Amino acid sequence: MSDGPVTLGAVAGLLAELEGEYAASRPTSEALHKRATGPLPGGNSRSQLHFDPFPFYVDSAEGPWLYDVDGHTYLDLVNNYTSLVHGHPTPQVRERLKAQLDKGTAFGTPTEAEVLLAEELVSRVVSIEQVRFTNSGTEACLYAIRAARVFTGRHDLIKAEGGYNGGLESAQVSVKHIGAGSTESVVEPGVHPAIAEHTHIFPFNDTDAAVAVVEEFGPQSAAIIVEPMQGSAGAVRAEPGFLEAIREAATRTGCLLIFDEVMTMRLGYGGLQGELGVTPDLTALGKIIGGGSPVGAFGGRADVMAVTDPRRPDGLMHAGTFNANPLTMAAGLLTLEMLTPEAVADINKRGNDLRDWINTTCTARGLPLVATGYGNLVQLHCSTTPPRSYRESSLLPKEPLKLLFFVLLENGVFAAPARLLMTLTTPMGDEELDKIKAALDSGFDALQQAGYRAT
């Protein structure tokens, strides 16, 4: 948590001015947004894409750059919310996709591309002995949980407070809406209240309390699902010893441990689990393994994955018209082939350097801002100390981050709205990092001029 309260000064007034300037310079995006709100509730099909006064519309992209319909160019630090690790399609990637496109886009049979991508994942993710593909990270988490239920014969689920593990009902508990206590199960809107009785919550980074929850509910639970770094909760890293303790408690109580690495696979050659040295029983994947195409995958121990074997009459039914779509498999394989250990190390170093620069700069300026994350994922918070959980990060002010967002945009840098999540990609070099720092410096100037400070 922050060491003390902050004063927002004139942040709200300056933010309103910046929003007005933003809108005035993007008339085509504004017109498209107004048109979109007719057939689309809120104007789009992804909740997190909206920000006031309206989101800008992209015309094209290549490498680390976005080009919007009003002629603005941005260095893209959103990268489709971390799903692009090499930026937008380059001629090399487009050529690979075109080669598959010429062969066909969907068949009612397996393809060699599926085998090749599966072999690649098995070779680099230590927990995955076998894998199956889905169309999204949500489906990956859903089927990992269902596989655990079939394997264990149990039905309950244990998850971390503030953890986003997809849109499935059993995981839509204590994500954005949390209770008075950190172990209280609160269902999200649209979820049947009875789900809360069978989904048990533990506080992230509170080892003793988390282990106590697992000891109590583990014997009746099929699985524990947890991100090794919580993404939508604020890029909050698991503290040393926390995941190890969860791993041990899962083993003692006979429930399976699932790592949701949909976002964090990009943080290591074999995912974040490979960097941290903690091995789950099952892993859910998505985002980068599709190379910019819709994708998900779940995999793990061969004895657990055997429950999905279609040769078994009592196996788990796992179907999907576009599972292992050949275009996705081709793009995903190329992405992973390009994501060598050296490439991961390089973007992680750049991310670590940027995070250190932000924290050093904000300390020197007396600005109550702190950067969290791991490797190539960097997120800002309105605090002087890093939040340890979603319960902490959710209480921090958001207006200064909104102001920073608009200052960054006007300096040609696109970070995640409100969250200020920044995603580095392999095409970014020293020139791009200098551009990010210069844009952030402009934002820090604006915050200081507005009177944002610790009190």
| Positions marked active-site | 164, 260, 287
How many residues can be counted in the chain? 455
Environment class of residue 178 by beta-carbon count within 10 Å: exposed (0-12), middle (13-18) or buried (19+)?
buried
418 touches 404 (CB < 8 A): no
Identify the CA nearest to 141 among candidates 166, 172, 174, 112: 166
Whole-angstrom distance, CA of residue 336 vs CA of residue 290? 9
Whole-angstrom distance, CA of residue 267 vs CA of residue 274? 9
Identify the CA nearest to 120 among candidates 220, 270, 302: 270
Q: What angle do CA 170, 175, 177 make, to 5 degrees?
A: 115
Start-to-end CA span in the chain (Å): 14
Whole-angstrom distance, CA of residue 16 vs CA of residue 22? 10
- Type of residue numbered 276: L
Q: Which residues pair with 283 in a beta bridge?
A: 259, 299
Whole-angstrom distance, CA of residue 143 vs CA of residue 147? 6
